[in-house]
Structure 1
Amino acid sequence: MTTEPKDSPAPLQRLIEGYRRFRETGWTARRERWATLSEGQEPEVMVIACSDSRVDPSQIFDVDPGEIFVVRNVAALVPPFETNPGHHGVSAALEFAVQVLNVKEVLVMGHGLCGGCKASLTQSLHGAELGQGGFVTNWISLLDDARESIAHEHGTEGRDAERAMELAAVKVSLENLKTFPFVADKLANGSLTLRGAYFAISDGILHVLDTDTGKFAPAV
């Protein structure tokens, strides 16, 4: 077990120090940009990404504040359209982005070494109680159908199987996006486009899904 040196700043203090740097180099130096954003936001792209601390969309795409509308959750998943009562966080964000902000594209970005996808593949949390992995298990059950074919072809262990699961998860979310009526309507009239991507943590390469071939290829 590792411990921080006694003179190491506490996590909150490190965040505050980062905030101070931001005030000097990110906010004060760009007052005009922030003044514009104070009037409202007009992002053209919604990015649905994983909560994993290693895959921050703003860093990966090197965008300015206000350029992308981001939702992050375990494994970058989108549930299918449902009308049952509940707290539908992803669905609410999607509705706001598409219907209110009128984004032109929705990008689902998966990533390498995804813990959620690995848990889906191995079923390591299967049967866990809420608070002990049960919430994660319920969420990643969205991948159960895709998992079956992956496990049949690649097994449930090793990077080949994990990567196949990570790529399949992006496609699952893209298909689920199409079940939302307001998304389907805008896809039909050409005012919205769905995109898929995959960021490989190990080499920093972004792969983009070709919707015609169903294959991912490095961005050029």
Structure 2
Amino acid sequence: MEFAKPLPSYLVTRYHGWKATSYKDNQGWYRRLATEGQRPRAMVISCCDSRVHVTSIFGADQGEFFIHRNIANLVPPFAPDGDHHGTSAAVEYAVTALKVSHLIVLGHSQCGGVQGCIDMCKGNAPQLEEKTSFVGRWMEILRPKFDGVAGIEDPEQQARQFERQAVVASLENLMTFPFIESSVKAGQLSLHGLWTDIGEGGLECYDPKTGLFAPV
């Protein structure tokens, strides 16, 4: 395949640095992970945004988290329609095969996907309304939640609240999966909704009793 190119030199340099330091100091652990397989206690669904570094936030090592990333950390409703569902497949594997105990949805501030959905809802993003836009079609998952923030006049506050609603939407959609609902009701799985402020390093957790997010 003539389209594939060699890895950029700066990444090659970083790899060799990692292999000579972090890997060398912990090669027994890496080999154990390879031979014994993974046993993560938690799955984290986060945004693709490069500023969201899940393992750094929680100080996690290899093998601790089963991580799935997508635009705006969204989970679609349960829909066994035969189409491709990367997020649904990851959730199914984590819950039914890996038997994770915790499923965390992690939203974040300044989310471009959420802002794109706001623009769509306000009629300011015709390019995302096109059927050929993968991002636009994906953000349709969140569109029903816009009514809850439509009355917020300040654009920044509206975006921050809508980012939190993206987390709530994903939690609600997770419970439409039969294997998740049964695991939650059996006390074998717990769902958690988090939102992090990139600039301030803050972390908030969703409280279903109040419907609000509060600092952890």
Same fold (TM over 0.5): yes
Does residue 10 of structure 2 align to residue 14 of structure 1?
A: yes
Aligned-residue sequence identity (percent) comes to 38
Question: Is this contact kept in 2: 1:79–1:142, CA < 8 A?
Answer: yes
RMSD between aligned alpha carbons? 1.6
Does residue 138 of structure 2 align to residue 139 of structure 1?
A: yes
What is the aligned counterpart of 1:35 among 31, 44, 58? 31
Question: Is this contact kept in 2: 1:75–1:110, CA < 8 A?
Answer: yes
Gaps of 5+ in 2: 1-5
**For the residues of structure 2 that align with 1:82 and 1:181, how far apart are their CA atoms?**
11
**For the residues of structure 2 that align with 1:210 and 1:159, how far apart are their CA atoms?**
22
**For the residues of structure 1 that align with 2:10 and 2:131, how far apart are their CA atoms?**
31
CA deviation map 1:19-68 (0-9, x unaligned): 12211222111012112101200000000000000002112211000000
Once the 2 structures are TM-superposed, how far is the Cα of residue 176 of structure 1 from its aligned partner?
A: 0.2
Q: TM-score, normalised by structure 2?
A: 0.90
CA deviation map 1:134-169 (0-9, x unaligned): 111100011111012211x214x6210000100000
What is the aligned counterpart of 1:193 among 181, 190, 193? 190
For residue 41 of structure 1, give the secondary structure of its aligned residue in structure 2.
Answer: coil
Once the 2 structures are TM-superposed, how far is the Cα of residue 130 of structure 1 from its aligned partner?
A: 5.8
Question: Is this contact kept in 1: 2:131–2:137, CA < 8 A?
Answer: no
Does residue 38 of structure 2 align to residue 44 of structure 1?
A: no
Q: 1:97 corresponds to which residue? A: 94
Q: 1:75 corresponds to which residue? A: 72
What is the aligned counterpart of 1:154 among 149, 152, 155? 152
Q: TM-score, normalised by structure 1?
A: 0.89
- How many aligned residue pairs are there? 206
Larger deviation, residues 19-28 vs 169-178? 19-28
What is the aligned counterpart of 1:179 among 173, 176, 179? 176
**For the residues of structure 2 that align with 1:20 and 1:61, how far apart are their CA atoms?**
25
**For the residues of structure 1 that align with 2:126 and 2:168, how far apart are their CA atoms?**
23
Gaps of 5+ in 1: 1-9
Matched AA of 1:206: L
**For the residues of structure 1 that align with 2:10 and 2:186, how far apart are their CA atoms?**
47
**For the residues of structure 2 that align with 1:171 and 1:44, how far apart are their CA atoms?**
22
Q: 1:88 corresponds to which residue? A: 85
Matched AA of 2:136: T
Matched AA of 2:160: R
Q: 2:3 corresponds to which residue? A: none
Structure 1 stretches of 4+ with a deviation exceeding 4 A read none
Question: Is this contact kept in 2: 1:143–1:169, CA < 8 A?
Answer: yes
